[in-house]
Every structure is written in structure tokens, then in C-alpha cells.
Amino acid sequence: MSSSVSSSARAARKSLAGRLREIRLDASLSARALAAAAGWHESKTSRIENAKTPPADADIRVWCRVCDAEDQIPDLIAAAREVNSMWVEWKRMERAGLRQAQEAQLPLYERTRRFRSYAPSLVPGIIQTRAYTTAVLRAIMQRRSIPDDVDAAVAARMERQRVLHEGGHQFAFLVEEAVLRSVIGGREVMAAQLDHLTVVASLPSVSLGVIPLGSDRTPMRWTVEGFWIFGTEQVSVELVSGYLTVTRPSEIDMYDRAFTELAELAVYGADARALISAALHALTR
């Protein structure tokens, strides 16, 4: 699990565990006494307080009842559910294939009015061509050894792209120049994808920025994980082993600042099109 997950999901788990420990200490109970009153082994109390075992809703209810802190049950259960939904392993999300994961995102795209996306390695999904998407999803299917429903998953992602043209949505895309230079799906597929980027960049709802190779990355503007900011609702981060959802305002602000700093490195308009054309020329010469 990457440092992003450590700083988000793991921190949230530790925060919840710390709150439960404070409740126990405020009740002047030892871990052994709480376990005895709850009817479980003392080691379970230790595992929960050390964030090694996530507490179930029933565990939180018993914990708070024993500690005479029942007024905190609703907030703690909500926090626990947020933690549990924050990090989802791909093998759990995609156990039946890729289509369901693609379809599940559509309502979020439909209700979001302001999108911001930073892509260090791949063209963002919503501005991919069908052939590029097919190449990406087929590679994912093969890497993760999941059922082959790539055609259906591609169709679901293409359906999601309609929000680009519906009105009422604004998109700001930042891509590293390396994204333009990485050949995905073969030269013909990549050339068509680069052509498509110039079309997308002309849409009134879209801002496309390209961060040139060799940009001065100081201070703190180095390449980070790819992420999507959905208005003020959440940030989504795709990592090698799973999918991270960030909903805490303080963490959303961190991604907001990162996007702003990276956006200052990017070029736009004619300069961005020149970088796309240079990448296309390198493919076809």
C-alpha cells in the first residue's frame, strides 16, 4: 500500500482507534476490564485500539455502553463506515469484472459540476478514445486476472463521457508530457488518442494543461499519484493495489493545493497543442 494510503486510510483508522481508547480511559477502565464487561478476549480490545482490527458497529455499541458514552455511538459508527469505504482493494471491487466498477462511477460524474484531474501516466478515462480505453482495461484485466468483460466495461466508460457535452460541467485536466509520449495500445491507437486530445481541448467546458518535461519541480511540485477532484465532495485516487476515496475536507484541501501548484507548471492553448503535435510527430515519423 502506497504512502498515499498510509497518510489517509491508515491515519483515519488510527484516529478512530485513538478515539475509542480515549473513551475507555475517560471511563477509568483498563483494557482487561473493558474486555471482561464486553464479554470478549482482552486481545480484541488491544487490536482495536492499535488499529489492527477494525471495529464492527456492534463492537462500537458495546464499547460505548460499557464506558457510559452511548451518546458518541452514532458519530463513531459513521466514522468507522467512512474508514471502511475509504480504501477498497481492486480484487474486491472487480471480483465480477471491470464493468460494474465503471458503471458505479456514473452517478458521481453526473452530479459533479467542477472536475479537476491530474494524470502522471495515462490519459484521464473520460477523455480517452475507445481504442485507448480498450487497451488500458484489457491490460488491467490481464494483470489482475479478473473475468473478461472488457467490452462491456469500455461501453460503460464511453457512456460516462457524455457528461463532457451535457453542459453544466467544467473540466480541468492536467497531464504530464510523459503521458503524451507513452505509447498505449500501439502507435495507431496512440496517434488517434493524441488527435482526440486536441479535439477535447477545444471544448468550451474543458481546460487542458500539459506539464512539460524538464519543468522546475521546486518547491514541492514533483510528480504525485494521479487523482480526480470531484467538486468539494471527494477525491479519488487509483493506486496499484486499490482505490482510495478521500472525503475529509482537510485532505481534499491538500489535493486542491497540489493541483493548483502543478497547474502553475503547465502550458495551455497553443503551447499545449504544440506538445501534443510534437508527440504525434514523434510517433508517425
For 57, the domain range is 3-88
Contact 227, 173 (CB under 8 A): no
Residue 155 and residue 111 in one domain: yes
Using DSSP's 3-state secondary structure scheme, residue 179 falls into helix
Read off the pLDDT of residues 207-231 as tens digits, 9 standing for 90 and up.
999 999 999 988 778 888 899 999 9
Residue labelled with grid coordinates 458519530: 75
Residue 231 and residue 266 in one domain: yes
Name the domain boundary from 88, 117, 142. Answer: 88
pLDDT band at 241 (very low <50, low <70, confident <90, very high): low
Whole-number percent of the chain with pLDDT over 90: 68
43: closest CA among 57, 51, 31, 25?
31
Hey, CA dihedral for 53, 59, 62, 63, is it positive or negative?
Answer: positive
Residue 21 and residue 63 in one domain: yes
* pLDDT higher than threshold 80 for residue 179: yes
Q: Is the peptide bond before 219 cis (omega within 30 degrees of 0)?
A: yes
Side-chain-side CA neighbours of residue 250 (13 Å): 4
Virtual torsion, Cα 132, 137, 139, 142, nearest 10 deg: -160
Residue 81 and residue 136 in one domain: no
Residue 36 and residue 112 in one domain: no
- Beta partners for 267? 210
Residue 245 and residue 268 in one domain: yes
Residue 127 and residue 215 in one domain: yes
* pLDDT higher than threshold 80 for residue 128: yes
| The predicted structure's pLDDT at residue 181 | 96
pTM for the complete prediction?
0.75
* pLDDT higher than threshold 80 for residue 2: no
Rounded distance, CA 190 to CA 118, Å?
A: 19
Hey, CA dihedral for 230, 250, 236, 108, is it positive or negative?
Answer: negative
Rounded distance, CA 57 to CA 80, Å?
A: 8
127: closest CA among 168, 172, 92, 87?
172
Read off the pLDDT of residues 230-239 as tens digits, 9 standing for 90 and up.
998 899 988 7
> Which of the two residues, 168 and 94, has the higher pLDDT score?
168
Name the domain boundary from 35, 57, 88. Answer: 88
Name the domain boundary from 58, 88, 118. Answer: 88
Residue 81 and residue 99 in one domain: no
Residue 81 and residue 129 in one domain: no
Residue 191 and residue 252 in one domain: yes
Read off the pLDDT of each residue in 178-185 and give the average, rounded to a whole number.
97
Residue 45 and residue 73 in one domain: yes
CATH number, domain containing residue 258:
3.30.870
C-alpha cell at 133: 480505453
| The predicted structure's pLDDT at residue 43 | 94
Q: How many domains does the chain have?
A: 2
- Averaged pLDDT score across all residues of the chain: 90
Residue 39 and residue 68 in one domain: yes
CATH number, domain containing residue 26:
1.10.260.40
pLDDT band at 250 (very low <50, low <70, confident <90, very high): confident
* pLDDT higher than threshold 70 for residue 89: no
Read off the pLDDT of residues 102-121 as tens digits, 9 standing for 90 and up.
888 889 999 999 999 999 99
